Structure 1
Amino acid sequence: MLDVPVQRRRAFVPVAVLAVGTFAVGTDAFVVAGFLPQLAASLEVSETAAGQSVTAFAVAYAMLSPILATVTARLSRRALLVGALLVLALANLGSALAPTFAVLLVTRVLAAAGAAAFTPNAGAVAAALSRPEVRGRALATVIGGLTVATAAGVPLGGLAGQVLGWRAALGLVAGACAAVAVAVFAILPALPGQPPVPLRERLSVLRRPAVPAVLALTVLGMAATYTVYAYSAPAMRAVGVESTASMLFLYGVGAIFGNMAAGYTIDRWGASRVLMGGYVVMAASLAGLGWLAGGQDVPVALVGLLAVGWGAGTWCQTPPQQHRLIGVAPQEASLVVSLNASAIYVGIGAGTLIGGLTLAQGVAVTYAAGAVLAVLALLLIVATRRI
């Protein structure tokens, strides 16, 4: 019989592989921000219009996530996750070869389908493979793949876009997704699907007041950060930083810290307190960057510090939100995690749209809009903290 440490290590390996998968998915979802100006110039559209490719991805993800959860219910979890990664690989290859912006949008929607099938199921599988007392850490590990993508994948993608071209950068993402598909197939244990449940019945969980309240917070929190993040290049130029990749790296460092700290503190202090602290940090960081965008001459180190806080405040929110939802509806864990993933991308789409609308008024206004949304998220978690 295996001793407890060996059992724990064996349980952790599949969770770690799922985290690598979310790294590949996160790089795909966020990488456009790293080379937005080059993409816009190549396809002869404005930066604001190019940013709407992020909105298209986000809206498609939000709409497809619950639908795919329904139609793929019977599939083995391993087969579903591998198939989703292969769809992502093909979609990114299509994006890399897109001759026009319209074709690019179509391939981004296809990529959203792959991401919508992978990310929520990765979280649900991680929760199923983990003991209840360490579920917060398991969820944080899987979401950690997304945060590492913001720290390394996106800046490296942006650098590859500058050095090799944005098409080559997306080609590299396609290769990464295909490689992770092989790893998931080789390492993830076989897990059965679930009996199919009609979409209407699945969405009946939204009748529980606690569920839409949690999802609304996810939308607000992600909209706050993506008001600025999708337009990182002009946003960083406005505060005197020409190297967007370096600031995105620092944002990602903060994201990793915020995500992993959330995973450990949820199990000790509770999800609501973690979220309150995160929104305070996010609002303060965005407000500080907005003040600097007004023309103040300050050291780049201060901008970097605020970027770290911005990332930490952003990515400390997903593990506690998932934890809250699973606590509210433990029998529908896969579904509520899928709905939370939809809410994340509704927030990303809304934030990108707000960012595009405010960018013409000045980057300081864009930062201010993000800070206001973060304050609204703080007020909402205070109001719903007992959930």
Structure 2
Amino acid sequence: MAVLALGVFAVGTGEFVLAGLLPMLVEAFEISVAGAGQIVTVFALTCAVSAPVLTALTAVWRRRTVLVMATVIYLLGAVGTALAGSYGQILAAQIVAAAGVGLFIPNASVTAATLVAPRLQGRAIALVVTGFTAAVAFGAPIGTALGGLLDWRATMWFTAALAVIGLVGVWVLVPEHLHVPSAGGLRAQLRPLGDRRVLLLLVTTLVAFTAVFVPYTYIGVIYAPATGGSGVALAVLMLTGGIAGAVGNLAAGFLTDRLGGARVVTIALSWLTAGLLVVPLAVGHFGAALAVVGFYVVGAFAITTPQQHRLIGLRPDATPIVISLNQSVLYLAIAMSGLVGGAGIELLGSRYVSLVAAALALLALGASLCAQRLMRPTSASGAGV
């Protein structure tokens, strides 16, 4: 299980470090901030599309083969980015890297859930998702610091090195003959969208993570008064949020096994909303910013595990499908966060853009409760699903 988390950490670092590299790319290739931001958008959209498509194409493969191939694809993209000589080459290389990420992360979660008893699935998924939060907590700040000390290419070589370590770990430690039930081709992959309960859970993920990533995407802008434009201060802020996110995710895993996914999502979204509402009061002081970021990120990263657990419990016959769809929607949310956050900053200013995110978190809570209500008549455990 730990090796799956390591793999997620490796590929996730390459994704989240992009936000810290954007100023360097603007300078290196003489492009606009908006143009540099499109790298993040293209990466996220590629992940969103590749997760269900590549999962369908590899549905009957052994899990180790799928995970190894995904890591190799990501590694090729990371190396291609490090060697890129133009903005267009970076975009092309990041599309390749994103395809690997889109295939790896949902299959890592499915593999983890397959390796344990049903009563431990929440904790297993949480351990894998910890790699995702660790990428935010440690990988992205380290990569950003490397870029500042050396250059952005050094950061991409760092992410490539992490991918090599993850590749070796998956090859050695994931059981060779492990399979998960195949759900068929792409049409079958999309069939769960006809289930209103699945659709509402995916809407919950979409809106919730748009709320989560609005303040993350624009963290440097929002907290510029607190950090004074210091890259080191910003890295500390990101590190604090990442550590808090890891704590929230692990806690969510244990609570999901005890309380059920629906209740944990309700708690997490309520927590997130409360934290986002007080962000405007903390943007001018670094200590206050650390405290507020540490608070609301606990709720932000406590959403993923119970959402995946709910989907597995709802459609155990289509576990790989619903997990890949959920991951696709999460990446679509990352792409949307840039657009929504940018519009919010234009409308309200960077100090108050978190209020837009808070409104989205409330909408996500409403969608989650609606899904819970629909699930109640057909679920033996009711709200605990």
Do structure 1's residue 157 and structure 2's residue 143 form an aligned pair?
Answer: yes
Q: After superposition, what is the alpha-carbon deviation per residue over 1:153-189, rounded to whole angstroms, capped at 9, x for unaligned?
A: 1111111111111111011101110221011101110
Do structure 1's residue 375 and structure 2's residue 375 form an aligned pair?
Answer: no
User: After alignment, is 376-385 or 164-173 more displaced?
Assistant: 376-385
Closer, same or farther in 2 for the Cα pair 1:364/1:324, shift >3 Å? same
CA contact (8 A) 1:239 1:289 kept: no
Q: What is the CA–CA distance in structure 1 between the aligned matches of 2:345 and 2:78, rounded to whole Å?
A: 28
- Letter of the 2:239 partner, please give it: F
| Secondary structure in 2 matching 1:151 | helix
- CA deviation after TM superposition for structure 1 residue 240, in Å: 4.2
Percent of matched pairs sharing the same residue: 35
Q: After superposition, what is the alpha-carbon deviation per residue over 1:134-154, rounded to whole angstroms, capped at 9, x for unaligned?
A: 110000000010011111111
RMSD across aligned positions (CA): 1.6
Q: How does 1:237-252 map to 2 (within 5 A)?
A: 237-241=224-228, 242=230, 243-252=233-242
| Secondary structure in 1 matching 2:223 | helix
- Letter of the 2:197 partner, please give it: A
Q: What is the CA–CA distance in structure 1 between the aligned matches of 2:243 and 2:235, rounded to whole Å?
A: 12
After TM superposition, the score normalised by the length of structure 1 is 0.91
- CA deviation after TM superposition for structure 1 residue 231, in Å: 2.3
Q: What is the CA–CA distance in structure 1 between the aligned matches of 2:28 and 2:357, rounded to whole Å?
A: 29
CA contact (8 A) 2:200 2:368 kept: no
Q: Point out 4+ residue stretches in structure 1 off by more than 4 angstroms.
A: 193-196
Do structure 1's residue 313 and structure 2's residue 299 form an aligned pair?
Answer: yes
State the match for 1:181 in structure 2: 167
State the match for 2:86 in structure 1: 100
Do structure 1's residue 276 and structure 2's residue 263 form an aligned pair?
Answer: no
Q: What is the CA–CA distance in structure 2 between the aligned matches of 1:101 and 1:194, rounded to whole Å?
A: 41
State the match for 1:258 in structure 2: 248
- CA deviation after TM superposition for structure 1 residue 70, in Å: 1.1
- CA deviation after TM superposition for structure 1 residue 38, in Å: 1.6
- CA deviation after TM superposition for structure 1 residue 253, in Å: 1.0
- CA deviation after TM superposition for structure 1 residue 34, in Å: 2.0
Q: After superposition, what is the alpha-carbon deviation per residue over 1:19-65, rounded to whole angstroms, capped at 9, x for unaligned?
A: 10011111111111122212222122222332221111111111111
Closer, same or farther in 2 for the Cα pair 1:340/1:195, shift >3 Å? closer
Q: How does 1:285-296 map to 2 (within 5 A)?
A: 285-293=275-283
- Letter of the 1:222 partner, please give it: F
Q: What is the CA–CA distance in structure 2 between the aligned matches of 1:278 and 1:24, rounded to whole Å?
A: 26
State the match for 1:354 in structure 2: 340
Closer, same or farther in 2 for the Cα pair 1:86/1:340, shift >3 Å? same
Q: What is the CA–CA distance in structure 2 between the aligned matches of 1:98 and 1:285, rounded to whole Å?
A: 40
Closer, same or farther in 2 for the Cα pair 1:97/1:364, shift >3 Å? same
After TM superposition, the score normalised by the length of structure 2 is 0.92
| Secondary structure in 2 matching 1:384 | helix
CA contact (8 A) 2:122 2:253 kept: yes
Do structure 1's residue 227 and structure 2's residue 214 form an aligned pair?
Answer: yes
* The one of 33, 42, 45 aligned to 2:31: 45
Q: What is the CA–CA distance in structure 1 between the aligned matches of 2:32 and 2:294, rounded to whole Å?
A: 29
- Letter of the 2:114 partner, please give it: A
CA contact (8 A) 1:275 1:320 kept: yes
- Letter of the 1:192 partner, please give it: H
Do structure 1's residue 202 and structure 2's residue 189 form an aligned pair?
Answer: yes
- CA deviation after TM superposition for structure 1 residue 288, in Å: 1.7
Q: Which runs of 5+ in 2 are unaligned?
A: 376-385
State the match for 2:131 in structure 1: 145
CA contact (8 A) 1:290 1:365 kept: yes
User: After alignment, is 189-198 or 121-130 more displaced?
Assistant: 189-198
